[in-house]
Amino acid sequence: MKSDRIAITGMSINTPLGDTLEGFLEALLAGRSAVSHWKKIDTSRIYSKIGADLSDYDIAAKVASFEGRIPSDMFKRMRKLIQYVPWSTRLTILVTLDAFLDSRLAEAGFDMTLVAAIVAGHNINFNYHYEQRLQFAEEPDFMDGMLSLHGLDTDHAGCISELLGVRGPIYTVGAACASGNSALRSAVDEIRYHDAQAAIVAGAVVDFSPPDLHAMALMNAIAFESFNDRPQAASRPWDIRREGFVPAHGGGVMVLEPLTSAVKRGAKIYAEIVAVEANSDGSHLPQPSEEGQTRLMRRVLEKAQLEPEQIDYINAHATSTPLGDITEIRSIKHVFGDHAHKLKLNATKSLLGHTCWSAPIVESIGAILQMNAGKLHPSINIDELDPEVDLEICRGHVVETPVNYVMKNSFGFGGINCVSILKKFDRSEL
């Protein structure tokens, strides 16, 4: 079956700004910062002390909230899985179950052999690996014997499959900070070219470890020099004092299906996916490329059969790095010309920090919620605007505006780029 129109019929979120769609949107529009000092990561020997932290998330309460809302056999499977898997995998299970319920796939009687599950990310369970290696150094026999299974990124996908009864293709997609969009692209392909009736795309929470955070500080990729004592001010895309991104816990899940089947079964339709395209810069270094970004944004517009003037809003990659932020602004100007000054942009990472592999999913969910609300959240911490940034970036205030098309940029380490275009659903166009 080939379906040209793809609908998003389920969404869920778990970030330090909220674990419900309503709460997440409310926090975004309030301009609330999620960044604090790390609570359970040992920062005593590393430079960066700050991030958006989910380590104290009440998993037990979340598990209990599903009792009576899902079949008893599924509830038992969930409790068993949660008991044994690492922390990040537990969060993947819970946020995926939220999206599955939101989509009402089970009620619709989908053939689960034709449902795909794709997890965005790689090296997801960093801290679990780190802790097991510390235990190995102290006493090998006391380490987790399931490391060889639970340490694999594919275990996230396997747990989704086991819990929900997914029997179609399951896999992970690793593309650094473009992973979420790359996974979305794979999900679209599963529906359009491989007969999937639906596809679940899970952006997993990256479980950062002290060595990973310290290495990023040594690379000057993350903020630490000026803002360890002011964590909420650290993530500052487009500000002249930006020093690097702020690592963040956060995950989200989207459920995709052909628009025709979504309409037929009366599903809630959050948005349509118009196009998702990817390219690379031909360099493994974390040095963003104007040429690569420009070429990709032009390609995704071409694939979507849209003129630049039809894009209303760009949810920018905007990580708060000195080179990255300005490279993206320059690329947008190349692609959109005079229309660039009519566009609305904002930086979700100014509020949440950078959720890394899951960022395109987490931020796309936020963008869809804003599109449907007709309100764009403020970009915060812009005390002194970079003089080269002369576009409408929602600096410090909510912007009320109709949005029909949103572009979501994601540019990852290794010269990996992936950009999507999402469309507000309009039933009158059926």
Active site residues: 177, 317, 354
Contact 238, 382 (CB under 8 A): yes
- Please tell me the distance from the alpha carbon of residue 11 to that of residue 128, in angstroms, as a whole number: 27
Contact 188, 2 (CB under 8 A): no
Calculate Rg over the CA atoms of the chain: 20
